Amino acid sequence: MARKYIAETDITAWLKELSGDNLIIAPVVETGTVVYRPYTSGSEVELVNRPVSSPKEAVFPQTELLFTYKQDKTPEDPGRTKVDMKEATPDRATVFFGPRPCGTRGITMFDKVYNCGKQQDTYYVTRRENTAFVTIACTRPDATCFCHSVNSGPADPDGSDVLLVPVQGGYVAEAITDKGTELLAYDLFSDAGKREQEANAVIDKAREMLGDPHDFTDAESSLYKLFDDMEFWDEQAAKCINCGACTYLCPTCHCFNITDQTAGLSGRRIRTWDNCMSYEFTLEGSGHNPRPTKAHRLKNRLGHKFAYYPENNEGLVACCGCGRCIERCPSGVDIRAIVLAAKERSDVQE
Amino acid sequence: MRIGVFVCHCGSNIAGTVDCPGVAEAAKMLPGVVFASDTMYACSEPGQEGITEAIREHDLDGVIVASCSPRMHEPTFRKAVERAGLNRYMLEMANIREHVSWIGKDVELNTNKSVELIAMAAAKLSQNSPLTPSRFDVNKRVLVIGGGVAGIQAALDCADGGLDVILVERETSIGGKMAKLDKTFPTIDCSSCILGPKMVDVALHPNITLYTACEVDKVDGYVGNFSVKIRRKATYVDWDKCTGCGACMEKCPSKKSLDSFNEQVGTTTAINIPFPQAIPKKAAIDAEFCTKLTKGKCGVCAKICPTDAINYEQEETFLTEDVGAIIAATGYDLFDHTVYGQYGAGRYPDVITSMQYERLLNASGPTGGHIKRPSDGKEPKRVVFVQCVGSRDPSVGRPYCSGFCCMYTAKQAILTRDHLPDSQAYVFYMDIRAPGKLYDEFTRRAQEQYGVQYLRGRVSQIYQLGDTIVVRGADTLAGDQVEIEADLVVLAVGAEASRGAPELAEKLRISYDSYGFFMEKHMKLGPVETNTAGVYLAGSCQGPKDIPASVAQGSATAAKVLGLFSKDQLESDPQVASVKQPRCIGCMKCVRTCPYGAINEIEDRFKNPKADVIATICQGCGLCTSTCPQGAIQLSHFTDNQILAEVNALCPPFMDESFE
Amino acid sequence: MSLDQLKRLIKAVLPDLDMVIGWKQGHDGLTATPLFIRSEDDVEKLQIGPLAVHNLATFLPGLKDKKVGVVVKGCDSRAAVQLLQEKLIDRANVTIFGFGCDGVVSHAKLRKQFDAMGRADSMVRDGDTVTIEHDDESTALPFNEICPDKCLTCEFPNAVVHDHFAGERIERTPVASENPALAEFEKLPISERLDFWQNQMGRCIRCHACRNACPMCVCRDHCLATSRDPNWIGQETSPRENLMFQMTHTMHLAGRCVECGECERACPMDIPVFLLRKKMADEVKELFDYNAGVNPDAKPPLMTFETDERNIKE
Amino acid sequence: MSAVHGRELRIIGFLCNWCSYGGADTAGVSRFEQPTDLRIVRVPCSGRIDPLFIVRSFLNGADGVLVSGCHPGDCHYSEGNFYARRRLELLKRFLPISGIEPDRFKYTWVSASEGAKWQETVTNFTTHIHSLGPAPTVLNASTPEDWAKVAQNAANGAGCGCGCHKERA
């Protein structure tokens, strides 16, 4: 379908239009750091620097209210244990504005977990259906970027409803889905015309900057081979400090924890991000922990992304190559290096 | 949880300013509360009945009584719920009397506050868990520290009660201060005549083991099971052999030794038995003055001793005694008057302390009971007594009244007139404090019958003039300055904490006041107990006391110990800390802060260091709990979650209006 | 040159140790990463200098039962001292390699001053300037503007405890007398400070990097922050609960914080959490005249007391 | 639990059982009238009080927190309040940085016999808290609206005075 063009100066107007019947989440600079925030007229969206946090919060907020409850008792019958419940329904139409393709593509990994035949997560599905992603193609990959090593690229439309490609003075916009088409149905847009070539050039340049991809083929089998090779994992995990920065910044990590909170007669159940790098993640009631050390936990994180998940999903690697985990890791743990090391090690073993 | 709430009217004490039925009604809407009612007197027999019935009828597993302070009736209601089959720690109280009805008159505010206090209690209660005390055996032996009259009395009463008693005295003989006294007020009967027999009883009593020239070195353990390390000082005399014949004293060449029993009035021999009635009557060498020990020559005593008891090589030894209770009766020491420059700072030989004067008066003292002044041995004609030397004087850090100086000064004045009928006695005093049986009569006798001259005022200066001592002071009643030329001046020095008292207190893990006197458990209701279970106080170690008071306390502590030992096993309070081992990272911060040494470092089966609480030593202060960064050590009944529950009840972490 | 000497020193003792922890080149020209030296070849990868930001003492408690060598900057060494003082590591098992540190970079500050983060090929420091090579061009920045504030106030450029010391000791006087960020922050009226923290905490993702990077956070897997019994902190990420965690961390660091600033460096969301730790450390200094991590035999101020407190008036 | 509207503020007290709680009882027994705002949490010893209880109270919306224990030296547990004194003083000095007015927190020593002193303490503290008014609430964001608020604050630049984090020009 024909690509369109919007001038940089019209972006604000567009957002204004969209915010009519949508909640808009867009990147803003908050005391120097780029994060996603609800867009309110007047807030300045940041479209050049990539947000530190990942777009997954659009469909998988760090804290999700599941339902509220209240004990319904009366002075006549104080012993009554009737409980009223009110389910939270995140059905607000939302436009999630300004992620990079890597992040948006990460969301598609969620679909296979929370929105597949056998498994439908109401909260996720509702949010997913009500959220449109307006993605901005990547023009300047960093040393930590490796989307091209996980079968993606700087302009991968996967997961996006609209893909914007920055060009001189504005953006070339492409509707990827019908939802996207609607979002472009404003006269702020003109035909892209020959800006299309410019857009393609921008993308090619970005791809070129990425250099040669890493060869992650057979990572799956290598990791399975090394499952019991704790010496290897201890070495790899040595510098890991076992925080959750990687998992919480990761666009594809999707584990959660559920908590009931009570205050007086009323209370609520919330779902919050959980992280497999923490000790409690697998701590059992008995006190036994199948993943007692950080090595076990790092192994699981790697394994899940490059072996277990792919095994269940036609070889799809559960890593979008955004490199956030590398860039923001306090210890500089490099997931790429570990996967490559694993391959090397398992080859040696044969 | 099924909680029952009982709101007490306390007659009109609470109901006067709190809508009790309203509170009960509101309480029904609190989480976990399945029953609530109001009652006229919750603590009364019918009130308690109501509680126990409700527990059975509504099968409650937690009870809240909203009434007076838990400090008042917690034990009462704990017993009540226990009678109904609940664990006593499943009770919480809401203090709606002392903290509500009695401090405010606004019924609306009071009622609302009462409900909130109940809400807090309910929140905490929902976190409570049943606690059961553990039992442990008692070692029915008692240690008495200090062989003064208080310690002697305590030891004898305990021993007569059938207990094994260990009596430790740091001097070579028991008797304490009382043994030095000549007569005692208000009866003027001979001190050693009434103390002597008791000392002998101690020596002969089959249940008493006496350790003199010994000090407590270390105390481990806890009530019922203390282990006490005792240091026996070197006396250089084998007491098993020494018969106390005294031959060594006669022959000992170094006669300039310090005579502390006689308060340095005169001197004694390097080897000596402190006084004729000493118990045990054994000789000991003062290493400082013995030429054999200092210079290596002499050895006369060794030659003379008929039983070869002398042993210059003797060294201090240690022994350990296990006991179930400890009585501290370490008495007091005398204030050092030399800090008073205006009183001559000890430069004038004829300005002496009241205790030195006792020795002068005493028939077995250095002067054989003849009053001769130290400087020239003349009989004094005018004797001036100065009271409150080191008492009631903040300027020397002794703001308190020593209590007995007024009385012994009156006694000494009377005795002076007895011994030297043609002498004159003057007493400078601030107030006469004689609040005991026959005490005031006694001081009046001194003035009226014995013509002792009492001058109300402080002495400003004392100085030597020729061979007389001039005492200058104010007579505030006459309203002018007086100057008296005296031959002898006696300073009524006050009492201060016994030397080494604070160190001992720390060994015993009891507290002491800023003067070093030991702290009792409760000023009024626990005068001989301490805050450390199984440790008791008798006599002046707790504060200055006269003889009858000290003896009474000696007996009181004995009664306490006999009471404690009346059971074969003790119950330990289950409100103690315990360690959740999996959470403990073994940093041992708790071990370092615990005031009782109740936490040990142990190893778990993986050889990881872990903290471990000895329940019987833990006193339940919770310092460890607030010290532990990861919350691994928790004080039962006051856990983090229990306190947080109360906080959250008052300040809910979130408000959910969605149902409002 | 101290790096070569350091390598020699390490090679000399390596056979007696399970490992030596140092730094090596990271994934780009602006990053270093911890290096676990187990063989002679590893030694060659060793690197020190302005990119050696990590406090490697953080790893020591986790390797308690191993024979470990660790390379430390001045501030790092204070962590080692504090760990020794609290008996959380065994002196006999630790070999400390010290060197004179002339300051490190702050990636948070770099991100704000330098656009080509993530595309840098190399960085060289020359006195007061650093020059970064990137995208076939080079950018020069004044060092004092891209180093963490801790370096501006640094009083311990040389390791305070060490078994081996490489190169010359560095004599330098602090550039600033007080932490600029803190001084700046404290100009805010109290009423605005809460807003400040609400905003900052609004970014917090509760990844606990601040905690896990902290050399004094030794509770590790048993931290209050994630436990339910006791249950101090709500699971939900909200400015309030996030701030509660920061307050908890800071209170638990009272009298222990060695001011290495790892908490703030580690924060992926660039939240200035060191402000809290620094303030606490300053108050401890003023109140108890105590610097954590200087004397292994000192008694930490909250582990003891005086019956008459000199600086507390009631 | 909402305080009676307008008339009371939320003030929490942490009192040691042996001295201050007894002191509060004594004040009651002597009928010393006091403001009703205070809600007392009873703990065995001031040494049991983790400063974080106070922080937690404030973050949960307390308008004031009052801590009281035995006079230093008179601790029932001999040392507890000596540790407490250091912790509480440190907290008091630290609170301002977090944006909590230090005046909203007070710690003091009251013995079981000092009913009058307790009355005075409570009265003065409560009056002072009322003069400060309700404490600002700390956002417990759970809805997009809450986050919008956070974003708004941030956008308005409320806060960031700290030099090293000033936005890139």
Same domain for A149 and A178, yes or no, is yes
| Domain assignment of residue B271, yes or no | yes
The answer to whether B588 faces chain C, any CB pair under 8 Å, is: yes
Residues of chain A contacting residue B649, judged by C-beta atoms under 8 Å apart: 264
Of B125, B153, B187, the domain-final residue: B125
| Domain assignment of residue A121, yes or no | yes
| Domain assignment of residue A214, yes or no | no
Rounded-to-integer distance, Cα C17 and Cα C40, Å: 12
* pLDDT mean over A247-253: 97
Q: How many domains does chain A have?
A: 2
The Cα of B645 is separated from the nearest Cα of chain D by a number of Å equal to: 11
Question: H-helix or E-strand containing B56?
Answer: helix B45-57
Of A184, A209, A234, the domain-final residue: A209
pLDDT one-digit tens code per residue, A176-188? 999 999 999 999 9
Residues of chain D contacting residue B510, judged by C-beta atoms under 8 Å apart: 78
Of B496, B511, B532, the domain-final residue: B496
| Domain assignment of residue A73, yes or no | no
pLDDT of D156 reads: 62
Are the CB atoms for B33 and B39 separated by under 8 Å? Answer: no
Same domain for A129 and A183, yes or no, is yes
Of residues B369 and B657, the one with the higher pLDDT is: B369
Same domain for B492 and B346, yes or no, is yes
| Domain assignment of residue B173, yes or no | yes
pLDDT of C121 reads: 92
Nearest to B245 by CA among B198, B310, B196: B310
pLDDT of B657 reads: 52
Please judge whether D151 and A40 are an interchain contact, meaning their C-beta atoms are less than 8 angstroms apart. Answer: yes
Are the CB atoms for A180 and A117 separated by under 8 Å? Answer: no
pLDDT band, residue B510 (cuts 50/70/90): confident
pLDDT one-digit tens code per residue, A202-241? 999 999 999 999 999 999 999 999 999 999 999 999 999 9
User: What is the three-class DSSP state of B484?
Assistant: strand
CB atoms within 10 A of CB A71: 18
| Domain assignment of residue A70, yes or no | no
| Domain assignment of residue B649, yes or no | no
Same domain for A237 and A182, yes or no, is no
Of A182, A209, A236, the domain-final residue: A209
pLDDT one-digit tens code per residue, C258-305? 999 999 999 999 999 999 999 999 999 999 999 999 999 999 999 999
Same domain for B221 and B292, yes or no, is no
The Cα of D130 is separated from the nearest Cα of chain B by a number of Å equal to: 16
The answer to whether B643 faces chain C, any CB pair under 8 Å, is: no
| Domain assignment of residue A333, yes or no | yes
The Cα of C213 is separated from the nearest Cα of chain A by a number of Å equal to: 6
How large is the ipTM? 0.95
Q: Which of residues 470-529 of B touch D (CB under 8 A)?
A: 509-511, 513-514, 519
Neighbours of chain D (3+ CB pairs under 8 A): A, B, C
**From C117, C226, C268, residue closest to A249, measured CB to CB:** C268
Residues of chain C contacting residue D138, judged by C-beta atoms under 8 Å apart: 194, 198, 239-240, 243
* pLDDT mean over B55-70: 97
Q: Nearest-CA residue of chain A relative to C217?
A: A241
* pLDDT mean over B294-312: 93
Neighbours of chain A (3+ CB pairs under 8 A): B, C, D
Q: How many domains does chain B have?
A: 5
Rounded-to-integer distance, Cα D154 and Cα A27, Å: 13
Please judge whether D136 and C191 are an interchain contact, meaning their C-beta atoms are less than 8 angstroms apart. Answer: yes
Rounded-to-integer distance, Cα B336 and Cα D1, Å: 62
| Structural domain boundaries enclosing A235 | 219-349
pLDDT of D138 reads: 83
Rounded-to-integer distance, Cα A9 and Cα A18, Å: 16
Are the CB atoms for B459 and B472 separated by under 8 Å? Answer: yes
| Structural domain boundaries enclosing B528 | 141-233+316-331+498-564
Please judge whether D99 and C192 are an interchain contact, meaning their C-beta atoms are less than 8 angstroms apart. Answer: yes
Record the pTM: 0.82
Are the CB atoms for C76 and C98 separated by under 8 Å? Answer: no
Neighbours of chain C (3+ CB pairs under 8 A): A, B, D
The answer to whether C250 faces chain A, any CB pair under 8 Å, is: no
CATH of the domain at B29: 3.40.50
Same domain for B327 and B337, yes or no, is no
Q: Average pLDDT, whole number, for chain A?
A: 94
**From D28, D45, D53, residue closest to B98, measured CB to CB:** D28
Same domain for B60 and B88, yes or no, is yes
Same domain for A19 and A152, yes or no, is yes
The Cα of C84 is separated from the nearest Cα of chain D by a number of Å equal to: 23
Q: Nearest-CA residue of chain C relative to B653?
A: C234
| Domain assignment of residue B320, yes or no | yes
- Chosen for mutation from A72, A266, A269, A288 (greatest number of chain B CBs closer than 10 Å) is A266
The answer to whether A214 faces chain C, any CB pair under 8 Å, is: no
Block means of pLDDT (10 residues each) for chain D, 169 residues, are 70 95 94 97 97 97 96 84 97 95 96 91 97 88 68 59 35
Residues of chain C contacting residue B129, judged by C-beta atoms under 8 Å apart: none
**From C199, C244, C312, residue closest to D159, measured CB to CB:** C199
Residues of chain B contacting residue D10, judged by C-beta atoms under 8 Å apart: 650-651
The answer to whether D167 faces chain A, any CB pair under 8 Å, is: yes
pLDDT of D82 reads: 96
Q: Give the N- to C-terminal CA distance of chain D in Å, as an integer.
A: 47
Same domain for A227 and A195, yes or no, is no
Which two structure tokens, joined as six digits, stand for C2? 């101290």
DSSP character at residue C114: -
**From C219, C229, C303, residue closest to B592, measured CB to CB:** C303
Pairing of strands B225-232, B317-323: antiparallel
pLDDT of D7 reads: 87
The answer to whether B102 faces chain D, any CB pair under 8 Å, is: yes
| Domain assignment of residue B130, yes or no | no
Residues of chain A contacting residue D159, judged by C-beta atoms under 8 Å apart: 31
CATH of the domain at B459: 3.50.50.60
Q: Number of C-alpha atoms within 13 angstroms, CB side, residue B378?
A: 14
Give exposure, C42-79, as e/b (b: 16+ Cβ within 10 Å).
bbeebbbbbbbbbbbbbbbbbbeeebbbbbbbbbbbbb
| Res. B547: pLDDT tops 70 | yes
Place of tokens 């440190």: D90
| Domain assignment of residue B191, yes or no | yes
The Cα of A36 is separated from the nearest Cα of chain D by a number of Å equal to: 9
Neighbours of chain B (3+ CB pairs under 8 A): A, C, D
Phi, psi dihedrals of residue B436, rounded to the nearest 5°: -105, 175
The Cα of A125 is separated from the nearest Cα of chain B by a number of Å equal to: 24
Residues of chain B contacting residue D32, judged by C-beta atoms under 8 Å apart: 103
Place of tokens 């029993």: B261
Rounded-to-integer distance, Cα B623 and Cα B625, Å: 5
Please judge whether B619 and D77 are an interchain contact, meaning their C-beta atoms are less than 8 angstroms apart. Answer: yes
| Res. A350: pLDDT tops 90 | no
Of residues C119 and B158, the one with the higher pLDDT is: B158
Task: List, in sequence order, every residue forming a beta bridge with A231; answer none if it has no partner.
Answer: none
Are the CB atoms for A154 and A137 separated by under 8 Å? Answer: yes
| Domain assignment of residue A122, yes or no | yes
Residues of chain B contacting residue C227, judged by C-beta atoms under 8 Å apart: 583, 630-631
The Cα of D30 is separated from the nearest Cα of chain B by a number of Å equal to: 8
The answer to whether B357 faces chain A, any CB pair under 8 Å, is: no
Same domain for B530 and B453, yes or no, is no
Residues of chain C contacting residue A279, judged by C-beta atoms under 8 Å apart: 220-222
pLDDT of D71 reads: 87
The answer to whether D150 faces chain A, any CB pair under 8 Å, is: yes
Please judge whether C54 and A330 are an interchain contact, meaning their C-beta atoms are less than 8 angstroms apart. Answer: yes
Same domain for A259 and A160, yes or no, is no
Please judge whether B25 and A75 are an interchain contact, meaning their C-beta atoms are less than 8 angstroms apart. Answer: yes
Phi-psi category of residue C72: left, alpha or beta, with phi > 0 → left and psi -120 to 50 → alpha: beta
Q: Average pLDDT, whole number, for chain C?
A: 94
Sequence-ordered list of residues with C-beta below 8 angstroms from that of B44, at least 6 positions apart, any chain: none
Q: Nearest-CA residue of chain A relative to B35?
A: A78
Phi, psi dihedrals of residue C39, rounded to the nearest 5°: -140, 165
Residues of chain A contacting residue D145, judged by C-beta atoms under 8 Å apart: 38
pLDDT one-digit tens code per residue, B241-272? 999 999 999 999 999 999 999 998 889 999 99
- pLDDT > 90: percent of chain C: 87
The answer to whether D160 faces chain A, any CB pair under 8 Å, is: yes
- Chosen for mutation from C211, C227, C304 (greatest number of chain B CBs closer than 10 Å) is C227
Same domain for B491 and B625, yes or no, is no
Same domain for B282 and B208, yes or no, is no
The Cα of D114 is separated from the nearest Cα of chain A by a number of Å equal to: 35
- Domain spans, chain C: 1-104+155-175, 178-314
Which two structure tokens, joined as six digits, stand for A334? 């490099």
pLDDT of B571 reads: 87
| Res. C80: pLDDT tops 80 | yes
Please judge whether A71 and B31 are an interchain contact, meaning their C-beta atoms are less than 8 angstroms apart. Answer: yes
**From C36, C120, C238, residue closest to A238, measured CB to CB:** C36
Q: Which of residues 69-88 of B touch D (CB under 8 A)?
A: 69-72
Same domain for B299 and B279, yes or no, is yes
